[in-house]
Amino acid sequence: MNESSHLDELLASRAASSRRQIEPCTVVIFGASGDLTARKLIPALYHLAHEKALPAPYRIIGFARRDKTDDSFRAELLEALGKFSRTKPVDEAVWNAFAANVHYCQADIADPAGYQKLKAMVDATDHEKLRSNLLFYLATNPSQFGEIATHLNAVGLLEKCENGGSMKRLVVEKPFGHDLPSAQSLNAELIRHAHESQIFRIDHYLGKETVQNILTFRFSNGIFEHLWNRDSVDHVQITVAEKLGVGSRGGYYEESGAMRDMLQNHVLQVLSLIGMEPPVSLEAENVRDEKVKLLKSIRPMTPADIARNVVRGQYFAGDVDGDPRPAYRSEPKVNPKSNVETFVAVKLAIDNWRWSGVPFYLRTGKNLPVSASEVRVQFKPAPNILFAANKDISLDPNSLTLRLQPNEGITLRFNGKVPGAAMELRPVRMQFSYDTEFGAYTPEAYERLLLEAIAGNATLFIRRDEVETAWGIVDSIRNAWTDKPLTNREFYLAGTWGPTAADDLLSADGHEWRNPQPQK
């Protein structure tokens, strides 16, 4: 597809972006026997039904290869719901009403006859909307996305709607490709059978309430938006830390590493929301336009830049909270000589008017001391003129921390005087907690994302040019690592905050990492 056609599709997507009323629909889940369906998708749909958020009527059809009946499929889902539901016990009345709408289509993804069988099930209703309003959730290997779309098109269940108004939609899971060429190829394959406005690329991170709140916090509070620029901000730190190691996912991780697994999607998504310009409205395409502009403003790095501004790491044997952890190279399905990164830290420069000269430090890793995601905006220090005579006083720069998980909330750090006769200053915190203010109830990310996909609101989903821009950033870094073995300074003890090289990355600029604190 040429650039002009691509632009036409994006413009059509923009015209169709306003939120539609939720209409009756049929949700078809490919990969219905998989872990994602049991752990996330069915619990999310059940909770939406419990909250009476699903349209009336609705149907859910699971499509998978294993031999099951409707009843056996429902029994398996109920058992999984008992384990993974965020509300327990399962409400029997709600489940019975929900299960009556759940069906199973036994077929192989590669078998064209299976799609004829699916079409017969879709058409076996008198309700016209249930036949025409179709949401296909591809909870499968990405290599099967194009094949599924082709088969759906062949039987008339999926058609490309040029005006962007179709209620036949594809929801596709990450990873969306493993590099820029594969992402472009996958996009081209899907675009053959579906318009860009019909494709919902999902990143569950965007469904988190605290991530969504970034835009609200930034653009509804004038006191902070005036400070959100190079005049007031010294630097920004984004940390997505995982306490768990690779575990049983060694085979997958050998192909992805931390850069592909986390930074290309989750971390860059948070960066785009933190740094983007105000959109002209909250309609999907206006928000996504600004996110793409931000990503395209990231300064490209030469190999020399990458050597200075990017740190990779890999954990060796240690312990996390007294729990022994093996070295990455000793994990199942991992090459004993692997150079795959389990940690990455990057210093990025954004070349636009708002952020010129403000460094953004991003890091993510496995087997770190805590599981936490947070953004720390470090403001420039105040002049020390008034307190310069007292050498015992050290002014701590103000900072704002957005804690995305756990202990979700926002903390403003400023200096205050300690009570007493002496002039003693100490950093203090003003803290907002989601649990305290709104109660413990927070919907799961998949609940919000599934509801938005059914409604046709693409704001929380990733557009084609956005995913390709992110891959371009990541590929340039990964290409510089080709055939370069890890050095001793790039290994880190499991249970610590990464290799010493990551600390050097900030200390070279006179900064230091501010580590998330353990959950209390």
Q: How far is CA 207 from its chain centroid?
A: 8
Q: Which of 193, 204, 266, 511 is catalytic?
A: 266
Tokens 């059509």 label which residue? Answer: 12
- Residue 415 has a CB neighbour count (10 Å cut-off) of 16
Per-residue CA distances from 452 to 135, 152, 200, 206, 386 (Å): 11, 22, 10, 12, 53
User: Which own/partner pairs from 124-132 qualify as long-range (CB within 8 Å, at least 24 positions apart)?
Assistant: 125/59, 127/24, 127/57, 129/23, 129/24, 129/25, 130/24, 130/25, 130/26, 130/57, 130/58, 130/59, 131/26, 132/167, 132/168
β-bridge mates for residue 360, sequence order: 236, 348
- Name the residue among 291, 290, 310 with its Cα closest to residue 300: 310
Tokens 């653009």 label which residue? Answer: 219
- Name the residue among 519, 515, 499 with its Cα closest to residue 240: 515
Check residue 372 and give left, alpha or beta (phi > 0: left; psi -120 to 50: alpha).
beta
User: Is 235 designated active site?
Assistant: no
Strands 343-349 and 409-417, sheet pairing: unpaired
- Name the residue among 347, 265, 367 with its Cα closest to residue 301: 347
3-state secondary structure 40-83: HHHHHHHHHHHCCCCCCCEEEEEEECCCCCHHHHHHHHHHHHHH
β-bridge mates for residue 135, sequence order: 27, 169
- What order of strands is seen across the sheet that includes strand 134-138? 102-106, 58-64, 25-30, 134-138, 168-172, 199-201
Please give the positions annotated as active site. 266
